[in-house]
Amino acid sequence: MPDTEEPELQLPLDEVRIFTEVLNRIRNAYVEPIDDKTLLENAIKGMLAGIDPHSTYLEADDYDLLQESTTGEFGGLGVEVGIEDGFIKVIAPMDDSPADRAGVRAGDLIIKLDDTPAREVTLGDTIDLMRGEPGTDIVLTILREGIGEPFEITVTREIIQARSVRYRVLEPGYAYIRIATFSTDTGDEVKDAVRKLHEENDLKGLVLDLRNNPGGVLQSSVGVVDAFIDDGLIVYTEGRVDSAEMRFEASTEDVSQAVPLVVLINAGSASASEIVAGALQDHQRAIIMGTPSFGKGSVQTVLPLTNERAIKLTTALYFTPSGRSIQARGITPDIMVDRGQVTRIPESLVSYREEDLTGHLENANDDAEFEEEAAVISTVVQDPPEVIVRDYQLNEAVNVLKGLNIIRPRIMAESETRLVEDIEETSAR
């Protein structure tokens, strides 16, 4: 049990004397004067940075950024980006965003932002450069596959209401939900998306894409899992104080209606993404595919100091329903699938089959039965849409869902047959 009593504050006097001595030395000997406020704030930043990578000191500007990350509203371009080979790669422009309307496409490499080469900045710096006052312009220098020379696109910043959830039908019966980040309303958005997909389609399978999702609001990840299960533990946290200990259980409604589910993850899937993947994996509700996730299994709490300052402090570790801590380990997929690209190779035009041979024997089965079987096959095997061809992991996920839909009716039929036989055998006794 955690210690609920406030520990008595006992400062190590020798270390406090050293700290005071260092403060005085910097005051008196540093090449330029530094005020005490700056020195003490830097000391606080260093103290938190030395604990772990996620604890930090929040000043006024940091508060604003934190608000943006949870509400999803900011001035910017409306584009989701990542790092690839030192360049900024566009994962996807948001629908009807400034970047989308200006012609930025998924897969584009940004090699320069205004006059700043992309190789000289971090991903965080890049996001800062793209965000700014609505109405201002930024010039992106783009490299695009199939176009030999770089070209420029001018994008005008706007207030972006970030959509954390996007969804679409990939092909008849199979749909796709992408979660870019976990903001306040993500859980409700996913539930709404699943309901609409069921209402508008004969849904046979669903892909939930959490790749390159850095996480976000813990409660939203719980809401997403709750869309796919109707009972049981989703996640729990453990820390040193009572307030750090939480348990989240599923509600009684499974809005997904138990549709077959594949979850895609990769090394960019962190925190809340790993909560979702781990919970669905433990409940055997989904097949997890892709590559191992990032491994951030800690919970940060914002503790206010003043009206404008706070610290973000790691206060707990979270655990999947089976008790797994993914801290520094991550979620291991059920099926490992690396990134790649699908290349379709059509059959040769000169190829032929038995039915093309002169004088071939006719099929012995009834033609109507053959046509019915062919119609069933055609609903499963068809040319994949272009998005699947470009995305090997997504292509494999859809193939797994199709396989499940082929085998499940057979397993259910066999189970029903065995059940009937058992009942008949019992009655005969």
The closest alpha carbon to 65, from 74, 55, 77, belongs to: 74
Cβ-contact 129, 113 below 8 angstroms: yes
- Enzyme catalytic residues: 271, 282, 296
The SS3 of residue 166 is strand
Residues 6 or more apart whose CB falls under 8 angstroms from that of 194 comprise: 177, 206, 227, 255, 256
CB atoms within 10 A of CB 112: 19
Write out the two tokens for 426: 């019992």
CA 139 to chain centre: 28
Per the DSSP assignment, residues forming a β-bridge with 112 are 117, 141
CA 234 to chain centre: 17
φ, ψ for residue 375, nearest 5 deg: -65, -40
- How many angstroms separate the first and last alpha carbons of the chain? 56
φ, ψ for residue 390, nearest 5 deg: -75, -20
For 413, the enclosing helix (H) or strand (E) is helix 392-428
Per the DSSP assignment, residues forming a β-bridge with 93 are 79
Residues 6 or more apart whose CB falls under 8 angstroms from that of 3 comprise: 240, 241
Alpha helices by DSSP H, 59-109: 60-71, 98-102
Alpha helices by DSSP H, 340-391: 367-380, 386-390
List the beta strands (DSSP E) in 271-400.
Answer: 287-290, 298-304, 310-319, 335-336
Alpha-carbon distance of 324 to 311, in angstroms, equals: 28
